[in-house]
Every structure is written in structure tokens, then in C-alpha cells.
Copies of this chain bind each other. A is one copy, B any other.
């Protein structure tokens, strides 16, 4: 954690940080102030867990800045990435699903800034804040849709298509324009990609090498830039 005391950090949090975020967009300044006053703010380094699968779900979170991977760990220790969550979304909403423990582990992919509240405030947020419930359910619906898509992909597509789709999804969620293409704007290893697509880092490496030769992507260590998105889309369709 930052050496700066939390309340200091908090007092600097401007209401405008939340006003444009969907779950809070219909609230007035005063309501948002109240929400911020109850929040704890924290900075996480890259690669650390925010909460762990199976742990008591005692807080819920809003990712203000950074990226988070939601992963499950198998009995044999393999990691499977279920979702990527970009800044501006809620996470750890176990209560929505009628759960008392977190269903998966959340790991920061970059340095991240996260607000959190005790789970006991959840019900009052839902009741008191107009639009909070609706937007929460929309987020949830979106994630269910994503999970569904993943299942269909895993069930029907070849590795090459899955990797192409994963990269396309990442640049659509978190892409950043750079000279020569669009870059995934957080560090991602071949290993990470392989956990996203249910394959091995070797296969991902081979695919990226082949694509690079054909001019579809350019990649450095932990960095991937798509230079020909259209061709990648074509590939992803099989």
C-alpha cells in the first residue's frame, strides 16, 4: 500500500470519479459523497489477489483504474481465466448471486486502484441508490453472456480461432492506439493468453510467431500489438 494514509487519499477522491460510472450515474453529488465516505480506497501492485475463491465475501469492489483477471484454480493447480474486468466495473458482487463466498479469485493484471465497501452495505445500496441495481444486473448479464460465449468457443473452435478471438476481445475492451496498430494496454504473457484460451504457452507462442511473419501482429515481451485487425477477424471466424 501507498504510504499515504487512507483518509488522505479518500479526501482527494473527487466525486467526478464516480459520476460517469454506470452504477452511480443517476446519483447526485450528495449521494456520491456519502458513498465515497463509506469506501475504502486501496492501491494494488500487479499480480496480487484482491479476493480469493472460497473466502467469505465480506466486501464488494469497484475497479477505478487498472485491469483485473478473474481466475479459477483447478485441483491440480492449473489456472483458468474466466473473465477480464476493465476499470469502471464492480467486482466481487457475490451477494447478487446469493452467495456468501467469492466464486473465483480476482488478480490484478496491472497496478490497480480499487474502492471497496463492506458487503453489509450492499442491500442499502440496492435500495437507496436509483439505478444501482439495474446497472449491476446489466453488468452481471454481460458477464454471463461472456461466459456463455467462452463455453461455445471452447466447445466448437480450434485453438487458432480461440486465441484470435481472445486477442480481439482484449483489444476491444482495453485496446490503445499506437503507431502501427492497436496494442493491448496491459502486460500480458504467452502464459496468460494460454490460460485464457485453454491451450499451452508453446502453442500461443507458435501462433504469434506465425502471425507476426504474416504481418498480423507485432509482439514484444509482455506486449502485443495487432497490426491487421481485419485479417485477425477473418482468422477468428475459421
- Taking Cβ atoms with an 8 Å cutoff, the residues of A that contact B are 72, 74-76, 78, 80, 82, 96-99, 103-104, 134-135, 137-142, 144-145, 147-148, 150-152, 154-156, 198, 237
Contact = CB atoms under 8 A, between A and B. Distances in A.
A204 B117 CA distance: 48
> Which of A75, A103, A141, A237 is the most central at the interface, judged by chain B CB atoms within 10 Å of its CB?
A141
B103 A144 contact: yes
Nearest to A97: B141
A154 B151 contact: yes
23 contacts: A72-B148, A72-B151, A72-B152, A80-B152, A80-B156, A82-B151, A96-B137, A96-B140, A97-B137, A97-B140, A97-B141, A97-B145, A98-B140, A99-B141, A103-B145, A103-B148, A104-B148, A144-B144, A150-B151, A151-B151, A154-B155, A155-B198, A156-B198
**Closest A-B pairs by Cβ, 6 of them:** A97-B141, A98-B138, A155-B198, A154-B154, A98-B137, A98-B141
A134 B76 CA distance: 34
Grouping DSSP codes into helix (H, G, I), strand (E, B) and loop, the A interface class, with mixed when no group exceeds half, is helix
A103 B139 CA distance: 14
Contacts of A138: 97-98
A144 B141 contact: no
Nearest to A195: B155
A198 B154 contact: yes
A237 B151 CA distance: 21
Contacts of A134: 98
A80 B157 CA distance: 12
